[in-house]
Amino acid sequence: MNNAMIRRYLLLVATGLLTVALAGCDKLPGVSAPKAEFKAVDITGTEMGKGLVLSDVDGKSRTMADFKGKVTVVFFGFTQCPDVCPTTLAEFVAIKKALGADGARLQPVFISVDPERDTAEILKAYMAAFDPGFVALRGTLDQTAAAAKSFKAFYQKVPGKTPGSYTMDHTAGSYVFDADGRARLFVRYGQPVEDWVSDLKQLMS
């Protein structure tokens, strides 16, 4: 075998090894997987949600650790919201359906920013109207403020004509956590379902 043939052989072998390495790079020690390209805003590495301590509709105290094992989507809203909240929850239903069998690995979590009106009973009925598997959380005014702060989420009461007719301004986006409980994405309101599905499938793979 002459030198030219040896060089050609080594090149072919090296190319083949490179292809294998790239195909399984996440399995090789010391080699990081290629950075995922998401449609949503990548918030990997942040401490979002670390301060969450709220009760579910059955009165059980919950933290983000309770949702490990599933890809969790957290949304802040209120049941008397006229548009953004019901639209977002309806999108979660569509996203879960579009994921097919992987839909069972998705856990939407709705956090009320209006605990004065959103009782556990009201929240339970509200979730059931979309999907009984969706989780709703609420707390005292102070607990709600602490939860929102841990997500850097905004909300405030907007007075109405009467004391009970107020509305709430709030962050309209959603926060996505992977199955290990790590904050990964911030999804702006109105992102297409197909973009959601693309991002979620990456997190589930």
Please say whether the structural domain 41-204 has been given the CATH code 3.30.200.20: no
**How high is the pLDDT of residue 30?**
45
3-class SS shares of the chain: helix, strand, coil, % to 5: 40, 20, 40
3-state secondary structure of 200: helix
**Residue 99: which residues within 8 A CB-CB, separation 6 or more?**
105, 106, 197, 200, 201
**Residue 1: which residues within 8 A CB-CB, separation 6 or more?**
9
**How high is the pLDDT of residue 34?**
52
Q: For residue range 14-57, what is the model confidence (pLDDT) as tens digits?
A: 333 333 333 333 333 444 445 678 999 999 999 999 989 999 99
Q: For residue range 99-131, what is the model confidence (pLDDT) as tens digits?
A: 999 999 999 999 999 999 999 999 999 999 999
What's the token pair of residue 133? 């598997």
Annotated binding-site residue? 25: no
Strand partners, 177: 72, 183
State the pairing for strand pair 106-112/71-77.
parallel
DSSP 12: H
**Residue type present at position 158:** V
**How high is the pLDDT of residue 41?**
97
Are 46 and 183 in contact, with CB atoms under 8 Å apart?
yes
Chain center to CA of 172: 13
3-state secondary structure of 23: helix
- Does an H or E element contain 176, and which? strand 174-177
Q: For residue range 68-91, what is the model confidence (pLDDT) as tens digits?
A: 999 999 999 999 999 999 999 999
Q: For residue range 124-179, what is the model confidence (pLDDT) as tens digits?
A: 999 999 999 999 999 999 999 999 999 999 999 999 999 889 999 999 999 999 99
DSSP 66: G
